[in-house]
Amino acid sequence: MGKCLKGESEVKKKQAKFKCEKCGAMTQKKAHLCKPKKVKQNKSDKHKA
């Protein structure tokens, strides 16, 4: 569906909200991927107040 980053991530792994299951690109915008899959972020956030 539409465009895909084709393996070129837009954001760092930590910031990614979606990852393409097909090419592995990471982004915060679901629409940027051909096969987006929600990314679960690490719960251990040491910067939490």
Contact footprint for Zn ion (CB under 5 A): 4, 20, 22-23, 34
Return the number of the residue (16 or 23) whose C-beta is nearest Zn ion.
Answer: 23
Q: What does 1-49 look like in DSSP terms, one character per residue?
A: -----TT--SS-TTT-SEEETTT--EES-GGG-SSEEEPPPPS--TT--
Closest distance between Zn ion and the C-beta of residue 4, in Å?
4
Closest distance between Zn ion and the C-beta of residue 17, in Å?
15
Return the number of the residue (7 or 43) whose C-beta is nearest Zn ion.
Answer: 7
